[in-house]
Copies of this chain bind each other. A is one copy, B any other.
Amino acid sequence: MSTGHHEASWRLPESDPSYRSTDIAYLQRLAQTAERGHLDSIFFADGPALFRDVGRRPSGTLEPTVVLAAIAAVTSRIGLIATASTTYNDPYNLARRFASVDHISGGRAGWNIVTTAHLEAARNFGRDDLPSHRSRYERAAEFIDVALKLWDSWEDDVEIGDKEAGVWGDPARIHPPEHVGEHFRVAGALTTPRSPQAYPLLVQAGSSDDGKDLAARYAEAVFTAQQTLDDALAFATDLKRRAVEWGRDPAGLLVLPGIVPVIGATEAEARAKEEELDRLIRPEYARAQLAKTLRVDPDDLPLDRELPADLPSEDEIEGAKSRYTLIVELARRERLTVRQLIGRLGGGRGHRTFSGTAEQVADAIQEWWDAGAADGFNIMPAVLPSGLEDFVDQVVPVLVDRGLFRREYTGTTLRDHYGLARPAHPHDRTGGRDIGRVATTTSTTHQGAHA
């Protein structure tokens, strides 16, 4: 929702809720603001289904790869990350689209790989049921394998361009995947030459056991929702250990927890903003959604009581496992009532919310950075565009002064911003992937739909 990540942000006097998510000029300006702050990227969440809450909050999203192409045309450095589902796409079409965005943007594309946990999506693609969690992740792994083969189906230097002889390219430098697998059979090479980054930065955003394994195997960056420093540290440690098990350099896998900042001139002002936002949540809708996530009846969730004692275990959840566990643990740990829990989820949908001055927000970021719990952060302002402007104009300078963030862009591609090397073509590889060290706090601004 483009009026901000807080679900009630559209009800503030400053917000214009008229289809902002479909207003490309608005989205382009947000990206330009993020670029002014030298953030690494702008990120769009996504899912191929409309949720039944148009009554409750601004709905309506555009398909993010085309949005990013339009943003690419009016920006020059900022990375462009779109979410796309491996469950409801074909590898040939999707690999091609991301390669195209990478060409169009001069190497700024990223793909947030998700398996899509919603039954509503399944029902838009010929199914009555949600495919099982396990099968979605199995398909995701094969999907990425195929996509990588497609992105490597052209060597970097196919073109010969011999006008005299009438020979344009060298067919020997084209390598059709001829992939035959459990979920996919894809014979031919991509239509699209190898792109500036070779392929989009691979981002992953599922935190279940299977999700973490997928990330450890393929991802270069992971978006994650973590409420406490301890949890974030445990998550990062676990993920990097798994990456090592997959034979990877853990420095090539960046962990980027979300943070929902509410910035005020004083701490009291920031808190008052956050309280106003929470007051504007309509609890009956939020409770219905919570009941669906927890698989209980809404009547079993009285607003001023804690969660019921007998809830399903994560094993029984076929949808978004890690989100389920995060919600239950948050409520139990802080002994939140349903109303309080709804406030926390409405603000950051499971992500860490933080209200304070710009200095305090910078402290909150630095604390996790210094502890090694984060390689960067996904900045999800509660209110947009003002929250992003505040972050760029007030928090970024503090981080720069502390030597934690870049003063200027030093590279041109998204992997440059993250300190990662361009993947070599398999035919040119001398060893494993050459992955640089990350020296700065990286920041992203998160846009869009239903996480």
Q: Contact residues of A with B, CB < 8 Å?
A: 8, 10-13, 15, 17-19, 22, 24, 28, 47-50, 52, 54-63, 65-74, 88-90, 92-93, 96-97, 99-101, 103-104, 120, 123-127, 153-154, 158-159, 161, 163, 166-171, 174, 184-193, 280, 282, 449
A166 touches B100 (CB 8 A): no
A10 touches B163 (CB 8 A): yes
Rounded to whole Å, the gap between the CB of A77 and the closest CB of chain B is: 16
Contact of A188 among B68, B120, B174, B184 (CB under 8 A): B120
B168 touches A55 (CB 8 A): yes
A12 to B161, CA, bound (A): 12
Contact of A167 among B15, B47, B55, B92 (CB under 8 A): B55
Per CB-CB distance, the 10 closest pairs between chain A and chain B, nearest first, are A73-B73, A54-B169, A123-B187, A69-B69, A62-B100, A66-B69, A60-B193, A63-B100, A69-B70, A92-B124
Tell me whether A97 and B66 are in contact in the complex, defined as CB-CB below 8 angstroms, given that A54-B170, A193-B19 are known contacts. yes
Residues of B contacting A99 in the complex (Cβ-Cβ under 8 angstroms)? 62
B124 touches A55 (CB 8 A): no
Contact of A169 among B59, B126, B167, B169 (CB under 8 A): B59
Contact of A168 among B50, B59, B65, B169 (CB under 8 A): B59
Rounded to whole Å, the gap between the CB of A423 and the closest CB of chain B is: 18
A168 touches B24 (CB 8 A): no
Residues of B contacting A92 in the complex (Cβ-Cβ under 8 angstroms)? 48, 88, 124-125
Rounded to whole Å, the gap between the CB of A210 and the closest CB of chain B is: 24
**Stoichiometry, copies per complex:** 2
A60 to B153, CA, bound (A): 12
A60 to B191, CA, bound (A): 5
B54 touches A126 (CB 8 A): no
B104 touches A188 (CB 8 A): no
Residues of B contacting A190 in the complex (Cβ-Cβ under 8 angstroms)? 50
A142 to B229, CA, bound (A): 52
B10 touches A168 (CB 8 A): yes
A124 to B90, CA, bound (A): 9
Rounded to whole Å, the gap between the CB of A146 and the closest CB of chain B is: 10
Smallest CB-CB separation from A285: which chain B residue?
B166
A72 to B306, CA, bound (A): 51
Residues of B contacting A185 in the complex (Cβ-Cβ under 8 angstroms)? 123, 126-127
A96 touches B63 (CB 8 A): yes
Residues of B contacting A163 in the complex (Cβ-Cβ under 8 angstroms)? 10-13, 15, 17
A174 touches B126 (CB 8 A): no
A25 to B25, CA, bound (A): 20
